[in-house]
Amino acid sequence: MRAAVLTVSDSAAAGTREDISGPALCARLNTTALRVVPDEVPQIQAALIEWADSGDFDIIVTTGGTGIATRDVTPEATKGVLDREVPGLAEWMRFQGMQKTSRAILSRGLAGIRKKCVIINVPGSPKGAVESIDTVAPLIPHMIDLLRGNTEHGNSR
């Protein structure tokens, strides 16, 4: 699996706060492809489009900007570049997150497909970001297979 991580954070982009979530996700996804952008729709979309359209990545995970604060615009930016949404992934991450904290319901993160790339929004906290990816990790290889055209269905569920 070829993964990239996009941290969305005004303060991390400005250098006034260390990005902790991005590196935590990179470690979990075994990648060094990390970029930090501010909470600005055009910059988020430009990074997502560049990476997804390059064909270099199977999955892009964004961290940050999924809450309800005024500057939290990652879901809106993501929605604008997706070819198709996969709402069940985001719903499952929120459901599983609710088992740990009631605040998980405030996440507005999306998941979907652009070209042959899976894009998933996760929260900005390192723990929430990694736990969210861990929740859907078993599904990612199958999604990638399907996007690569491997549509044979076995007897597994």
Q: Identify the band that residue 68 occupies on the pLDDT scale cut at 50, 70 and 90.
A: very high
Domain range 3-147, its CATH number among 1.10.150.120, 3.90.1860.10, 3.30.470.20, 3.40.980.10: 3.40.980.10
- Across all residues in the chain, what is the average pLDDT? 95
pLDDT for res 156: 52
Angle among Cα 132, 70, 16 to the nearest 5 degrees reads: 75
Cite the DSSP H helix spans in the chain. Answer: 10-14, 21-29, 41-54, 74-79, 87-98, 126-136, 140-147
pTM of the model: 0.94
Q: How confident is the model at residue 100, as a pLDDT? A: 92
**What tens digit of pLDDT does each residue of 31-50 get?**
999 999 999 999 999 999 99
